[in-house]
A and B are shown apart, each in its own frame.
Chain A
Amino acid sequence: DIVMTQSPDSLAVSLGERATINCKSTQSVLYSSNNKNYLAWFQQKPGQPPKLLIYWASTRESGVPDRFSGSGSGTDFTLTISSLQAEDVAVYYCQQHYSVPFTFGGGTKVEIK
């Protein structure tokens, strides 16, 4: 199984500051035939289901604010919130959908400092 490791487990960021979450996979999730990274990012607020933010590692889902961006390729990925807003307080998960089972990272809790 591909293991997804997120870091840090939690972070506290001041309003308007940058938040950076890392996700590392134990094997590449880049599919060479289409040059796509099979990596998605989700946001989950308390009491709610997850919400898709980023897919194919760097494509922002429709309606997601442009302060959210994804980057990386192969085994190392990053989710960046460029200017943290109060409504961004949540747990963020990465998931690989390259190889069954489609594993998630352990989650990163983002709070306001």
Chain B
Amino acid sequence: EVQLLESGGGLVQPGGSLRLSCAASGFTFSSYAMSWVRQAPGQGLEWVSGISGSGDNTYYAGSVKGRFTISRDTSKNTLYLQMNSLRADDTAIYYCAKCSGSSSYHPVDYWGQGTLVTVSS
């Protein structure tokens, strides 16, 4: 059974940093691309970032490019999102999501439960 467990969310001040983690199990982690998708309170879904199964290719939404960094550690079966220079509009539930293939261009087929990030002074 595929399981994705996010952690690392919390309250951070504007301009601060946070690192999210997503522990994956139930599948061969290195064979699948992964993504982060966020959802502001009461709002819709926003794709944030993606990384290929090999880790060689990374992709970002314009709103986070230069501030967020996605990475993966195959030895730990863990996906990360390093978030710097956080702003109030980064406040959201952040979901870890598994793609159905090794390329980020495959559809997402599993989602974690999400972790809440609140940026506020």
Contacts and interface: CB of A to CB of B under 8 A. Distances in A.
Interface of A: 1, 38, 40, 42, 44, 49-52, 55-56, 61, 93, 95, 97-98, 100-107
B111 A107 contact: no
Interface residues of B, number: 24
B113 A56 contact: no
Contacts, number: 61
A55 B111 contact: no
Contact of B111 (A50, A61, A97): A50
A1 B46 CA distance: 13
16 contacts: A40-B108, A49-B95, A51-B111, A52-B108, A52-B109, A52-B110, A55-B109, A97-B106, A98-B105, A100-B50, A100-B59, A100-B60, A101-B47, A101-B59, A102-B50, A103-B47
A50 B95 CA distance: 9
User: Do most interface residues of chain A lie in helix, strand or loop, or is the interface mixed?
Assistant: loop
Contact of A49 (B44, B50, B106, B111): B111
B46 A61 contact: no
B47 to A, nearest CB: 4
Contacts of B35: 102
Interface string B86-111: 00000000010000100011111111
